[in-house]
Structure formats: structure tokens, C-alpha cells
Amino acid sequence: MKKIAAFNWKMKPTSLDEAQKTIKAHKKWAKKYPGVQVITAPPTPFIKGLIRDPNPVSLSGQNISVYLDGAHTGNSSAAMLREIGCTYTIVGHSERRAMFNVTSEIVSKKAVMALEQGLTPIICFGESTRDEKGRYIDEITDQLLESLAGIPDKHISKIVLAYEPIWAIGAGAKRAVTTDELFSTIILIKNILNKRYGPARTNKIPILYGGSVKAHNAEELAAVNGVDGFLVGGASHIEDHFKAIIKSLS
């Protein structure tokens, strides 16, 4: 399994010109490290105008509707993203869970829709706080199982998981997880999946880590056993960071 570097641009940049520069640089470093699968998720309005041939990067949406089409103002469907060249889509990002009341049940529906339309869903989940009483363990367990609930067992290994603790995400985050925290959480996630889907299927599901992955910590986080790649936010726009992140996974 190739390690995955997935870049979530969020709602940046504001110009197509800048977006083109970013995608060009993502392509450049993806070419340099062909052993790493680079997935890039620009803002939807830019995707079509970015590049004719995304190779060797794969294009991803940042979100999809639970519906295929219809009266859903402001939404984009999995089929539409597929039509403009995407092969992946992020679903259940914590920012969307928080800002748009996206529940795990809705995330599961989006994941099913993505799979039905030929997109690989990158399903995000993660605790809001890491309390000392271990309540975060229940939060992760519930969120993960509910977000996967609608996916038929036989398709479960077609997804990508992104463990993103909310407290570690974005500009306001104080720090990323430590390698110990990450390792124990990956074991927890694998145990949950093993119990529900069995080891043969579980072993095929890539588990990414996301939250304050930067040039300075990519190497040590990439070395944590069980980490199959990263989902990167802010550093997606800064070449010194994303080249180091891609390299750390090579």
C-alpha cells in the first residue's frame, strides 16, 4: 500500500492563478516521490480550471451532498465531482461537522454516496478533547462506527480513514498529537475495526493522521507504526512544508 499525502486546501486561495501555482508544486513533488500517493483537494470552483491532466496527483472534493441532484442550493454532488476529474472526496471533516451540523449518520450517507458514484471517501473523525478520564475513547469509537454504519461490509476496504483530533487542527491548535498518543489511538482504531469487520478487511483500510502536520513533525509522525499517511490543512499551501511532508512518507 502506497502511503498517502492528502492536501485539504480548505477555502484558500482566493485566485485561480495562485491555485494553479499550488497544484503545479503539488504535481512537482508528487513526481519526485512516485512512491507516495498525493491527493489534493482544492476548492470546488477551481478544480475544473486547474489542470487538464492531474497526473500524478489525484483530485479530491472537500465535501459532497448526500443527494445525487435536485433542489439543494449551494451543494455539489459526488457525480459532479467525478465529472470534473475527482477520484476522492473528503467527508465528515470536523469543520463541516461543527459548522453545518453534519452528524456521523450524515457522514455515513455521504460515504455511501461517494462509493456509489465511484469516488473514494476520505472519512474524517476524531475527538474534540483528550480528557484524562478516557471519554475520548468512547467519542472516537461511536463516531467511527456511526460514520461507517451504512457502508456494506464488502465495500469497507474501499475507504480511507482520517483520524483528526479536533484540538490539533488548524491555526488555533497548540500542537499536533505526540507520537505516543498517535500510536495508542491507531491501535484503538484498528481494534474497533477488527472487532467489527475482521482483520482481513481492516488491514486494507488506510488510516491517515491529520492535525498540525508540518515540515518539522512529519518525519516522526510518519514513522509511527500504523500511520498510512497524512491529511494536511494549512501546510497544503506552503511548499517548504508540503514537500517535506511528501518526502516523510516516501
Binding residues among 183-212 for ligand PGA as defined by CB under 6 A: 210-212
Identify which range of 46-54, 141-149, 199-207, 230-238 contacts ligand PGA by CB under 6 A.
230-238
The full DSSP string for 160-219 is EEEE--GGG-STT-S----HHHHHHHHHHHHHHHHHHH-HHHHTTS-EEEESS--HHHHH
**Residue corresponding to grid cell 488548524:** 170
Which CB sits closer to ligand PGA, 81 or 166?
166
Exactly one of 95, 127, 164, 237 is catalytic; which is it? Answer: 164
Which CB sits closer to ligand PGA, 197 or 218?
218
The residues, any chain, with a CB within 8 Å of residue 72's CB and separated by 6 or more, are: 65
Which CB sits closer to ligand PGA, 197 or 210?
210
Q: Taking Cα atoms as reference points, which of 170, 207, 213, 171 lies closest to residue 190?
A: 207
Catalytic residue status for 164: yes
Site membership for ligand PGA, residue 123 (CB under 6 A): no
Cα 214 versus chain centre, distance: 16
Provide the minimum distance between the beta carbon of 182 and ligand PGA in the complex, in angstroms, as a whole number.
14
What mask, x for binding ligand PGA by CB under 6 A, covers residues 145 to 184? -------------------x----xx--x-----------
Catalytic residue status for 93: yes
**Residue corresponding to grid cell 451532498:** 65
Helix, strand, or coil (residue 61)? strand
Give the residue numbers marked as catalytic.
93, 164
